[in-house]
Amino acid sequence: MGKIDVQELYRESYVENNFERADMFEAIRSRFNINCALYPGSFVHVTPSFFIQEVVYIDNDQRARKFFEQKSSVAGLISKKKTYNEDAEFSFIYSDYSEPLELEEGSFDLLISQYAGFVSRECKKYLKIGGILLANNSHGDAGMAFIDDDYEFIAAVYVKNGRFHITEKDLDSYFIPKNQIQVTRDHLEQLKKGIGYTKTANSYIFRKIS
């Protein structure tokens, strides 16, 4: 695999598809005072670094490894869009996030789980008590976090007029299965995707409570 054009890969993967979700990360950082984040299964989605000074990215994709190897180019991409005065601090771990990682446990303010499997379970130990989990339910991870006693469901993320918003209203109306089934870890692990709920959000926000 040859050298990767950092700007082009980011643009093709996120900008052209209107999939940066920049205002979601901006809202999360502002609402919860996030200073450092862990992003397992990130691919090359460095958008969180536009708003959060310190981010650790994890992926086992070869293109992601090549992307982050060009650290000065990635730093240049981030510096053009970052919203804070300090230099961005970012690093990349080329690994399956379920494997042991050389990271300090309980050291991150935010754990990001987007389209990457059961991040909430495998990387929970790296999140601070009181830290925030941002999870969508594409692979069932939001549902997994909801039934995990270590997490408390505190907000939902929805999209209106093309913008991401955070709401704490009517949280009891989420995570009600369309089919009257008992949602268990084993069931979600077997499905490896989100089940149908009567009311859904773009993403869900949890606080780690234990």
> With contact defined as beta carbons under 8 Å apart, do 174 and 200 qualify?
yes
CA distance 156 to 42: 21
> With contact defined as beta carbons under 8 Å apart, do 132 and 207 qualify?
yes
pTM to 2 decimal places: 0.97
| Residues 89-103: tens digit of each pLDDT | 999 999 999 999 999
Domain annotation for the chain: domains and CATH numbers: 6-208 (3.40.50.150)
CA distance 97 to 60: 8
pLDDT at 3 over 90: no
φ, ψ of residue 194 to 5 degrees: the values are: -70, 145
The residue assigned the tokens 């959000």 is 201
Q: Which residues sit opposite 163 in a β-bridge?
A: 160
CA distance 64 to 184: 33
Q: Find, among 36, 76, 33, the residue nearest to 57 by Cα.
A: 36
Q: Which pLDDT belongs to residue 22?
A: 97
The confidence band for 1, taking pLDDT boundaries of 50, 70 and 90, is low
Quick one: which H or E segment has residue 167? strand 163-167
Q: Which residues sit opposite 89 in a β-bridge?
A: 54
pLDDT at 109 over 90: yes
Q: Which residues sit opposite 55 in a β-bridge?
A: 37, 90
Q: Find, among 57, 83, 63, 55, the residue nearest to 12 by Cα.
A: 63
| Residues 9-29: tens digit of each pLDDT | 999 999 999 999 999 999 999
| Residues 34-88: tens digit of each pLDDT | 999 999 999 999 999 999 999 999 999 999 999 999 999 999 999 999 999 999 9
- Helical axes 62-69 vs 71-81, angle rounded to 10°: 80
CA distance 116 to 139: 7
**Section 112-120 average pLDDT:** 97
> With contact defined as beta carbons under 8 Å apart, do 59 and 67 qualify?
no
| Residues 127-176: tens digit of each pLDDT | 999 999 999 999 999 999 999 999 999 999 999 999 999 999 999 999 99
Quick one: which H or E segment has residue 127? strand 127-135
CA distance 169 to 188: 26
CA distance 122 to 67: 24
